[in-house]
Amino acid sequence: MFNHKKELQFEAKPDAPNPLYAKYIQELIGGQYGEMSVAMQYLFQGWSCRGEEKYKDMIMDVATEELGHVEMLATMVARLLEDAPIIQQEEVMKQDPTVKAIISGMNPQHAIVAGLGPRPADSVGNPWSGAYIIASGNLLADFRANLNAESQGRLQVARIYEMIEDKGVRELLSVLLARDSYHQNLWMTAVKELEEKEGGILVPTTFPRDKERFDIAYDFYNLSKGEESQDGSWAKGEALDGEGEFKWVKDPKPEASAPNLKPVTPKMYGTPDLPDQIGFKKE
């Protein structure tokens, strides 16, 4: 059960309308690493969590917070579009070339589709997709995905912060930056806890290593021009899992010959090699 409170957790009010800023904020709502993505990702992870209750409770706490972030950003978009109707914008654009250059970057869907409101979409109008979310049922794998999501999300918030000047918008972004900082710390801590608890860092931690090609499990293949990669810690020394030694392979050799595939049945309408394969015979 979810309960919605009308009050926002933090203020979401710009100093002045700005349709271009509204377009930027859309990326933080419905982009691949936006708040809609992390909210739904955490919700589905929580709903399928079968581990200790503390993990499920933690995931659901963060998921619910992210829903609040969606509302705050949606409110910010709506307020950035308030008092800036299209007719006024067109008049100003005619009078001032500088303003024209700015406002011409507005997302037209804000006016045409949403009536000067926010959209469940990214900054160029692509609709949010459920394909963005990861909920595998394996907490270690999922928490690592969450760390990536929060890292990418904070990076985008920081970039937008530097791109704008509105103090009110920046105040909201400073909130998101702080919470993304905490969430990165949270997922890193949870990942470390699970690694220690499960006794390994590889996902899945309980999969028997004797079922894999262990002889190539620690090789780094030099498969692009240049040999600088051999200087990295991933190419020498003990592996982080403690079960092998990294090795840099300068010129990895193929173990199989080039494939020679048979023609498909004519009913599949592939490209034939010979005319008689599609019913024609040479004269």
- The whole-number pLDDT of residue 104 equals 57
Nearest to 128 by CA among 223, 9, 39, 7: 39
Chain region(s) in the chain for CATH 1.20.1260.10 = 19-198
Q: Which residues of 220-236 are buried (b: 16+ CB within 10 A; e: fewer)?
A: bebeeeeeeeeeeeebe
Question: Is 61 annotated as belonging to a binding site?
Answer: yes
How much is the pTM?
Answer: 0.84
- The whole-number pLDDT of residue 20 equals 87
Q: Which residue's structure tokens are 């507005």?
A: 106
The pair of three-digit structure tokens given for residue 127, joined into one six-digit string: 């609709």
User: How far apart are the C-alpha atoms of 25 and 18, rounded to whole Å?
Assistant: 11
Angle between helices 167-198 and 53-81 (to 10 degrees): 160
pLDDT in tens, 174-211: 999 999 999 999 999 999 999 999 999 999 999 999 99
Question: Is 69 annotated as belonging to a binding site?
Answer: yes
CB within 8 Å of 11: residues ≥ 6 apart: 168, 171, 172
Nearest to 179 by CA among 65, 267, 47: 65
Q: How far is CA 165 from CA 20, 72, 136, 155, 207, in A?
A: 12, 19, 40, 18, 51
Question: Is 35 annotated as belonging to a binding site?
Answer: yes
pLDDT in tens, 137-163: 999 999 999 999 999 999 999 999 999
Nearest to 222 by CA among 239, 255, 247: 247
- What is the pLDDT tens value at each position of the chain, 283 positions in all? 899 999 999 999 999 999 889 999 999 999 999 999 999 999 999 999 997 899 999 999 999 999 999 999 999 999 999 876 555 556 555 655 555 555 557 787 887 788 888 889 999 899 999 999 999 999 999 999 999 999 999 999 999 999 999 999 999 999 999 999 999 999 999 999 999 999 999 999 999 999 999 999 999 999 999 999 999 999 999 999 999 999 999 999 999 999 998 888 888 888 766 655 555 555 5
Q: Which residue's structure tokens are 């499960």?
A: 198
The CATH code of domain 19-198 reads 1.20.1260.10
Q: Are 166 and 21 in contact (CB under 8 A)?
A: yes
The pair of three-digit structure tokens given for residue 217, joined into one six-digit string: 């499990």
- The whole-number pLDDT of residue 273 equals 64
Alpha helices in 164-249 (DSSP H): 167-198
Nearest to 80 by CA among 25, 160, 143: 25
Q: How far is CA 70 from CA 73, 74, 138, in A?
A: 5, 6, 26
Question: Is 65 annotated as belonging to a binding site?
Answer: no
- The whole-number pLDDT of residue 233 equals 96
Question: Is 224 annotated as belonging to a binding site?
Answer: yes
Question: Is 150 annotated as belonging to a binding site?
Answer: yes
